[in-house]
Structure 1
Amino acid sequence: MQSFIEQHPIHTKINVAWGEMDALQHVNNVVYFRYFETARIDFFNQINLLEDLQKTGVGPVISENNARYKRPVTFPDTVLVGVTISDIQADRFMMHYNVFSQAQNALTTIGSSQVVMFNFKTGKKANLSEPLLAALKTYSQN
């Protein structure tokens, strides 16, 4: 687990809830997208992206989500969702999620989201701001 934390300086700890399991007695596949969202919002808060949204009206929208399930997770467990960044472009970037089970001491799920910056005032795509670009590069895999 220490290696996972070192590789993912921004990670979010999430307790698995009993109600997240499905009839097959493992966390339902759709729940991982909620885990990704929780980690994404935590990441955005840590780099002040959502604060900028309030000021500028420019913020992130998701144009694509993906998940690959490697191992089932069951209750009780706590997962860590690590976030890294890649493919930074003028108006978008890719977020990568790695879900680590503390009970299994193993990586269970990997995922990604294409994030596009959007100006909610004009209804059009927007470029990454310089502070956002700098923050993203800090956590970039490139």
Structure 2
Amino acid sequence: MEQFIQQHSIITEIPVAWGEMDALNHVNNVVYFRYFETARIDFFSQINMMDDLAKTSIGPVLSETHARYKRPVTFPDTLLVSVSISDIQQDRFVMHYRIFSKAQQAVTTTGTANVVMFNFKTGQKATLTPELLDALKQHAEPSE
């Protein structure tokens, strides 16, 4: 777990709720997208993207999201969800998620999201500001 924490600059801790389990006694596949969303919003808040959205009406929208389930998660457990960034372009970037189970001491799920900047006033794509671009680059995966 310490290695996982050291490798990721932004981690969101999420307790598994009993109600997230399905009839097969593991966390339902849909719930992982909520975990990703929680980590995504936490990440955006930490880099001030949500403040910028409130001021400019320009913010992120998802164009695609994906999950890969490696191990089932059950209650009780606490998950650490990391976020990193790649493929930064003028108006978009890719977010990578890794979910680490404290109970299993292993990564249980990985995922990605393609994020496009959007102007909610005009209904058109928007470009990344220089400040946001710098913030994203600080959390870019090593291959960037």
TM-score by length of 2: 0.98
- Count the aligned residue pairs: 142
- For the residues of structure 2 that align with 1:87 and 1:9, how far apart are their CA atoms? 18
2:102 corresponds in structure 1 to: 102
The superposition leaves residues 76-115 of structure 1 with CA deviations (integer Å, 9 ceiling, x where unpaired) of 0000000000000000000000000000000000000000
Q: Which runs of 5+ in 1 are unaligned?
A: none
- For the residues of structure 1 that align with 2:26 and 2:42, how far apart are their CA atoms? 25
Counterpart code for 1:28 = N
| Aligned-residue RMSD, C-alpha | 0.4
1:6 to partner: Cα distance:
1.0
- For the residues of structure 1 that align with 2:6 and 2:121, how far apart are their CA atoms? 39
SS of the residue 2:5 aligns to? helix
Between the aligned residues of both structures, percent identity stands at: 70
SS of the residue 2:76 aligns to? coil
1:7 to partner: Cα distance:
1.1
SS of the residue 1:37 aligns to? helix
1:56 to partner: Cα distance:
0.7
Counterpart code for 2:114 = Q
The superposition leaves residues 1-60 of structure 1 with CA deviations (integer Å, 9 ceiling, x where unpaired) of 011111111010000000000000000000000000000000000000000001111000
Q: Which runs of 5+ in 2 are unaligned?
A: none
2:140 corresponds in structure 1 to: 140
Counterpart code for 1:92 = R
1:73 corresponds in structure 2 to: 73
